[in-house]
Amino acid sequence: MTTLQCVRTLVGHTGFVFSVKPHQNTSLIVSGSFDCTVKIWDSRDPNCVNKNLMGNIPAHADAVVSVDISPEDCGATILSGSLDGVVRTWDMKSTSAPCTSSLHYDNFIAVSSCCYTPNPNYVLVSTLDHTHRLWDINERSSSKGDVACDTSDNSVRSVYPAVISNSGNPNGVVRAFNGHVNSKYNLFSKVVNYAGNDGKSLSFLCSGSEDGNVYLWDVNGSPSSVRPQIAPCNTLTGHTGIVYYV
């Protein structure tokens, strides 16, 4: 059996590191921490120099529990989600205002996880109210404004774009999915595409659950006036504990 050796340790966070995402085609690594910061790293740098996205200003008002990198633009766009209930997108090409949008739903429900979908114009946000939401990040405000959440540093205000809620921007949330159980733990879900037997492209949302099941939803399914949230199209059973990751 081959024993792997640790070749580098990245030091810089002051709290638990909860989420790490390496870019598949570059040396970029992104990390999110309970110190409320998002940092980017270049694994080629022998000194492991890190960069905090907002300098001395926290990226979020609470722990950062999920980060992702856009599959396009060589990792130039980053996604972060926090227990403060806000998901932010970051433009790494910008030096003056890297935060390009801030999204939340209703009463800032804590984020369980967030990720880009195969179509980088859409992001999947899972929250601790048993719900997954598919957001169109092109439907966002370009204006600056209050982040609408409290932090220990007042300088965070007026730095980020105004937070978008579904009530203020009804076109932001394209689909909502429920049927799983997620109110306490951070569960990581994803959207996958594959070709069906007829050659047509199919898209499914896959998620674990606190009830020990894995749930699948048809992303192209349509909500109804009776049930605005789309129900699972399949349930996979067999685990006897919480399914954290799929």
Mean pLDDT of 175-187: 94
Per the CB < 8 A criterion, the answer to whether 66 and 188 are in contact is: yes
Check residue 214 and give its pLDDT: 97
Q: Does the pLDDT of residue 157 top 50, yes or no?
A: no
Q: Taking Cα atoms as reference points, which of 169, 186, 168 lies closest to residue 127?
A: 186
When comparing pLDDT for 147 and 45, which is higher? Answer: 45
Per the CB < 8 A criterion, the answer to whether 86 and 77 are in contact is: no
0.85 cut: is pTM over it? no
Mean pLDDT of 135-154: 46
49 contact partners, CB below 8 Å, separation of at least 6: 41, 42
23 contact partners, CB below 8 Å, separation of at least 6: 29, 30, 69, 74, 75
Check residue 140 and give its pLDDT: 52
When comparing pLDDT for 228 and 229, which is higher? Answer: 229
Per the CB < 8 A criterion, the answer to whether 30 and 18 are in contact is: no
Q: What share of the chain is helix, strand, coil (3-state, %, to 5)?
A: 0, 40, 60
Check residue 169 and give its pLDDT: 44
- Kind of pairing between the strands at 64-69 and 50-52: unpaired
66 phi, psi to nearest 5 deg: -155, 135
Per the CB < 8 A criterion, the answer to whether 140 and 162 are in contact is: no
205 phi, psi to nearest 5 deg: -95, 130
When comparing pLDDT for 186 and 143, which is higher? Answer: 186
Please provide the size of the chain in residues: 246
Check residue 126 and give its pLDDT: 96
Check residue 91 and give its pLDDT: 83
Mean pLDDT of 155-173: 44
CA distance linking residue 34 with residue 172, whole number of Å:
28
Rg (C-alpha) for the chain, rounded Å, is 18
Per the CB < 8 A criterion, the answer to whether 88 and 68 are in contact is: no
pLDDT tens figures, 17-74: 999 998 887 788 899 999 999 988 888 876 666 777 776 678 899 999 999 998 776 5
Determine what percent of the chain is predicted with pLDDT higher than 70. 77
Starting at the edge strand found earlier in the chain, the sheet holding 201-207 runs 190-195, 201-207, 214-218, 234-236
Check residue 98 and give its pLDDT: 80
Mean pLDDT of 102-130: 89
Per the CB < 8 A criterion, the answer to whether 167 and 225 are in contact is: no
CA distance linking residue 37 with residue 15, whole number of Å:
9
